[in-house]
Amino acid sequence: MRSSRLFAPTLREVPSDVEMTSHALLLRAGFIRQMGAGVYEFLPLGWRVLNKVSDIIRDEMDKSGAQELLLSAIQPEELWAESGREGPMSDVLIGFQDRRGTKYYLGPTHEEIITDLVRKNVRSYRDLPLNLYQIQMKYRDEPRPRGGLVRCREFLMKDAYSFDRDEAALDTVYNRMYEAYVNVFKRCGMDITAVDASGGAIGGKETKEFMLLTDAGEDSVLMCPKCGYAANQEIADFRLVDASTGDEKKQMARVDTPGAHTVDEVCGFLKAKPNQLIKTLILMADDKPVAALVRGDRDLNEGRFRVLLGASKLEMATPEQIAACTGGPIGFSGPVGLKVPLYADEETLGMVNFIVGANEGDAHLVDVNWCDVAGKVTSARLRFAVSGDLCEKCDEPFEEKRGMEMGHIFKLKYAISEPLNAVYTDEDGSEKLIIMGCYGIGVSRIVAGVAEVSNDDNGLIWPVSIAPYQVQLICANVTDETQLALAERVYETLVQAGVEVLYDDRNDRAGVKFKDADLIGTPIQVVVGKLAAEGKAEIRTRVDKTAEPVAEADILANVQARVGG
RNA sequence: CGGGGUGUAGCGCAGUUUGGUUAGCGCGCGUGUUUUGGGAACACGAGGUCGCCGGUUCGAAUCCGGCCACCCCGACCA
């Protein structure tokens, strides 16, 4: 491809509303353009990278025994109603009606569609196992798209779904997918950490997320430096340390705390530390109020709490709902005399003489002890693990890192097949539910991820495997006939040999072309310049700018060696 | 959905506080000349419904009201 013909508008300056490195570089280098919030167009360079990633995924998926197909992006609403996920996922569903008034959603994921396909076409155990995948745009009305390709409303995903007879067969395919994923990310040049994760709205415990560790990531990952345990903060387990001081219990007292409704304000007012306070969070679990009690400096893990309650919906109560069940305004709730079910984080049980809200405006209770709290208190782990908490297996303090989720595999089991009644006839003639797994990779997010971690001040740095072109050939001065003639010959030679080469034949100053080449990030650069008079070109890499003079006859072999390595 | 911010040429910005000639600057773009190894110089030139709608006014990029879009933080996030 000749740069003079390539549609790759590069920018010198970063558009003002861009913050994330990968976003800025992909825009500047002419890989993507924005259509709207979380909606991007892939320009030729971006599209090439996306396809390189897709091809690697295809190769690994096919090797693992999965079969590619293409499902409909338009999904009938009734399937979502049937699976019971229309409600839980209503926030992100983008819907429309056809001319007859039938409702549809643009596919945010394809469990319903594929399970419907399979239940209509699979009858017998002889038809199993099946592992089907596709690479297709997904549509989710994300509450907050961000970071360019990191979180989009329209994004490219590889999604695979396995269908098996029993758990043992599911385990087999799950493990095979794990291996395939490891291979995919390795081939894309990414250093990925697999972590224990939460099944999210679907549920399920056996699930792994494939995280790219980067400060730009949206997730928190807790890692044990000793045993290698790694988990998403949402589900990370840790050892409870008994922090009870053995202080003598004092007499509870009511104090005025005008205007102090946040933990910081109360602490400032009472000259206390956040860990001496227990905050009482009122939540609505399937529309019934419950109270969660956690130490003032901790955060409630709502996902864990929801699972504990067995609730399908859990959300923070509104000020009105809080007033209705506590009798006080938001910010002054407390467990003493509270008439809603109380759930206390296990860490709070060892506390004495703590501070809580008084369930009335502008007042708190101090020197409270658990004996003051009438009523049943359920103790459970309700808070997130944080940096410094101890690994449950080896008592080593966790390190906390940011991660960007690139892939997710998990065992759906019967979560979808049961409501959709996807069954098969087993050997003994009995009808059984198909057991399922699902496996996703954010293809477009991989592009963002690699761009995020692989760059320098001059631009992107692509690994050979997914670079838009393997080689960038630069003719330093196209008005120099010797240079131009040599560059043209080198271009022909490389193209004929099947090397993917972007040939900068523009009539610009050399500096412009060097800058663009670095920005685009092609891993190998071949410069035809002053040495053309001697019949030589310079070959260098994007990372190591040490130029190696190479005679014309040896250029192809040199390039091929670099591409291969 | 809550909080904060921004909308003026393809990109980056000034001008808005205090309304007043023909709305500026840099980059980029076009033509020409000179240049040609790390984003060249000079000359000439093109390019704008000042986010949209309404209002106030003799007069609105500027003041007022409403709306929209985008970004960031939070909530949310198979």
Indicate which CATH number applies to the domain containing A346: 3.90.960.10
Predicted local confidence at residue A274, as pLDDT? 87
Phi, psi of A493, deg, nearest 5: -60, -45
> In this model, does residue A320 exceed pLDDT 90?
no
A64-108 pLDDT tens trace = 999 999 999 999 999 999 999 998 888 899 999 999 999 999 999
Residue A49 counted as domain residue: yes
SS3 for A357-379, per residue?
Answer: ECCCCCEEEEEECHHHCCCCEEE
Predicted local confidence at residue A201, as pLDDT? 55
CA of A15 to C1' of B17 (A): 27
Token duo for residue A411 = 């065992």
Q: Are residues A53 and A200 in the same domain?
A: yes
Residue A464 counted as domain residue: no
CA of A78 to C1' of B13 (A): 52
Average pLDDT over residues A363-380: 90
DSSP A5-31: T------SS--TT--SHHHHHHHHTTS
Residue A433 counted as domain residue: yes
Percent of chain A scoring above 70 in pLDDT: 99
Residue range(s) defining the domain that contains residue A516: 469-564
A481-513 pLDDT tens trace = 999 999 999 999 999 999 999 999 999 999 999
Burial class (CB in 10 A: 0-12, 13-18, 19+), A88: middle
**In whole angstroms, how far apart are CA A310 and each of A189, A208, A261?**
41, 22, 30
Number of domains in chain A: 3
Q: Are residues A44 and A168 in the same domain?
A: yes
Q: Could you tell me the pLDDT band of residue A241, with boundaries at 50, 70 and 90? A: confident
Chain B nucleotides reached by a protein CB under 7 Å: 1, 5-6, 11-13, 26-28, 35-40, 69-78
Q: Are residues A370 and A427 in the same domain?
A: no
CA of A550 to C1' of B10 (A): 40
CA of A16 to C1' of B50 (A): 18
Average pLDDT over residues A279-302: 89
Question: Which residue, counting CA atoms, is nearest to the C1' of nucleotide B40?
Answer: A509
Residue A335 counted as domain residue: yes
CA of A114 to C1' of B48 (A): 51
DSSP A386-431: -TTPBPTTT-PBPEEEEEEEEEEEEEEETTTTTTTT-EEE-TTS-E
Helix (H, G, I), strand (E, B), or coil: what is residue A275? Answer: helix
CA of A36 to C1' of B7 (A): 14
User: Among A17-26, A241-250, A463-472, A525-534, whose mean pLDDT is lowest?
Assistant: A241-250
Determine the nucleotide nearest to A38 by Cα–C1' distance: B70
The set of residues, in sequence order, having a beta carbon less than 8 Å from that of A265 and lying 6+ positions away, is A257, A259
Q: Are residues A93 and A170 in the same domain?
A: yes
Predicted local confidence at residue A204, as pLDDT? 56
Average pLDDT over residues A271-275: 87
CB A475 within 8 A of CB A485: no
Residue A105 counted as domain residue: yes
Determine the nucleotide nearest to A199 by Cα–C1' distance: B78
**Parallel, antiparallel, or unpaired: how do β-strands A342-345 and A288-295 relate?**
parallel
Percent of chain A scoring above 90 in pLDDT: 75
Determine the nucleotide nearest to A88 by Cα–C1' distance: B78
